[in-house]
Amino acid sequence: MQKIRKAVIPAAGYGTRFLPITKSIPKEMLPLIDKPIIQYIIEEAVNSGIEDIVIVTSNGKHAIEDYFDNNLELERYLEAGGKLDQLEEIRRIASMANFIYIRQKGKYGNGTPVLNAEHIIGNEPFAVLWGDEFIAGNPPRLQQTAEVFEEFGRPVISGVRIKKKEDLSRYGIADLKPVRDNIFEIKNIVEKPKPEEAPSDLAAHGCYILTPDIFDALKNQSPGKGGEIWLVDGINKLKEKGPIYTCEIKEGKYYDCGNVLEYLKTNIDHALKREDIGDEIKQYLQETVKNF
């Protein structure tokens, strides 16, 4: 089975839930303590064997390109100041993978950035990861998903159980047929259903291993909900050629940084995990809650 070497990360959205800050700072570059959100996704990809990272951007997203590029002036400054740990880290960031940037063109919808990457992906399977959510776990979510693809040779989507019923309308929810353990065949995916109409509580979302026939599926589909091109509609079309699978990710915690509340929770969790500040943050939170 062909190795998954390339990953597409759509990062062209406006980030309207975070306005006004996203007027000038890409949502994907909002910090989790001292690293941007998108770096966690890229590190997951690299730790899963990905070599080429295709980031689909739009106007005003230059900060992403600058961040993953070398900054020789900064490197010279750190080296002269003896700040070698920081120097090593910023050099590591720029050399993690081969970074490829393309501008999103076409209709609105989360299927469009995937279609835009066709000329780079070519005729090989590839991964898709969103730029504002991830799972902190070992082994990485993408690695777990890729292993299922290597076994079955068909598209696979990572799966996450949604705990709150009212949150089901935020995701693509799968109608499932059990295969074994944490692997299911997807009978259908309902994009952002009403909670009472959701076919299960498992969101097939966040990490995709797709075959190149997804491009024809996206090109030939009519616009879906909201007049947009939805990736899930293309994936549902692929079921005509064979089964689509989901791998429920059991190890690790899911973080959705797509809205302000969940983004703040993610920052708190990551602060508490830090050896250098975790104890002080915990004490601060306890005192603040007590005295608020």
Give me the CATH number covering residue 123.
Answer: 3.90.550.10
pLDDT for position 193: 87
pLDDT for position 112: 92
Residue 274 lies in a domain: yes
pLDDT for position 240: 85
Query: Are residue 97 and residue 126 in the same domain, yes or no?
Result: yes
Q: Which residues contact 204 (CB under 8 A, 6 or more apart)?
A: 157, 158, 159, 172, 173, 174, 186, 189, 246
Residue 137 lies in a domain: yes
pLDDT tens profile 2-43: 789 999 999 998 999 999 999 999 999 999 999 999 999 999
Q: Which residues pair with 161 in a beta bridge?
A: 202
Query: Are residue 251 and residue 272 in the same domain, yes or no?
Result: no
In the numeric block, which tokens belong to residue 90?
């910023």
Pairing of strands 156-161, 98-103: unpaired
Low-confidence residues in the chain, pLDDT < 50: none
Residue 1 lies in a domain: no
Beta strands in 164-278 (DSSP E): 172-180, 183-191, 202-210, 245-248, 253-256
pLDDT for position 1: 62
Q: Which residues contact 225 (CB under 8 A, 6 or more apart)?
A: 191, 192
Number of helices (H) and strands (E), helices first, in the chain? 11, 13
pLDDT for position 120: 95
Pairing of strands 6-10, 126-129: parallel
Query: Are residue 247 and residue 282 in the same domain, yes or no?
Result: no
Query: Are residue 201 and residue 277 in the same domain, yes or no?
Result: no
134 torsion bin: left (phi>0), alpha (psi -120 to 50), beta (else): beta
Query: Are residue 270 and residue 223 in the same domain, yes or no?
Result: no
Residue 199 lies in a domain: yes
Query: Are residue 274 and residue 184 in the same domain, yes or no?
Result: no
Residue 218 lies in a domain: yes
Query: Are residue 168 and residue 124 in the same domain, yes or no?
Result: yes
Query: Are residue 181 and residue 242 in the same domain, yes or no?
Result: yes
Give the predicted TM-score (pTM) of the model. 0.91
CA-wise closest residue to 232 among 241, 242, 224: 224
Q: Which domain holds residue 284?
A: 259-292
Provide the domain count of the chain: 2
Query: Are residue 164 and residue 290 in the same domain, yes or no?
Result: no
CA-wise closest residue to 37 among 1, 60, 11, 13: 11
pLDDT for position 3: 84
Query: Are residue 291 and residue 207 in the same domain, yes or no?
Result: no
Query: Are residue 165 and residue 76 in the same domain, yes or no?
Result: yes
Measured over the CA atoms of residue 163, residue 166, residue 170 and residue 174, the dihedral's sign is positive
Residue 110 lies in a domain: yes
Query: Are residue 267 and residue 237 in the same domain, yes or no?
Result: no
